[in-house]
Amino acid sequence: MVPLNEVKISSVAMLHELMSRADYLLPALKCRWTNLQKLLEVRDGKIWALKQSVVVYRICTRPPCCRVLSEKLDDYLGKQQLPPSGINIAKEKFPDRPWLILAVATLS
């Protein structure tokens, strides 16, 4: 298997698929957070990414809005001294809510 950083990337969808096959659990392809720049930063380890092998599932019957979940995620990442999430709260470029719930549940 060719390492992710040696593959010639032709589209966001291609990189999303390759990273999903490499154990990353990424936000939905169509959410505002997912773009080529963010995926390349995840690939290079500059921002934190959720791995499929460590996901913790929790039932959340009334989840808060994406802003609150993003703030909680950044708080947990800061406490555990992990790389930043790459979420721009001021511009409201959030990942999708199901991904945020999984990320917060895994880190908490």
pLDDT tens by residue, 78-92: 999 999 998 988 898
Cα angle at 19 between 37 and 1, to 5 degrees?
Answer: 125
Residue 6: per-residue pLDDT: 67
Residue 68: per-residue pLDDT: 94
List residues bridging with 51 in a β-sheet: 24
Residue 2: per-residue pLDDT: 52
Domain ranges (residues) in the chain: 4-107
Tokens found for residue 37: 């720049």
pLDDT tens by residue, 8-63: 778 889 999 988 998 999 999 999 899 899 998 998 889 998 999 999 888 888 98
The mean per-residue pLDDT over the stretch 56-82 comes to 92
Cα angle at 49 between 3 and 85, to 5 degrees?
Answer: 135
> In the structure, what pLDDT confidence band is assigned to residue 4 with cuts at 50, 70 and 90?
low
Give, as one character, the DSSP assignment of residue 88: B
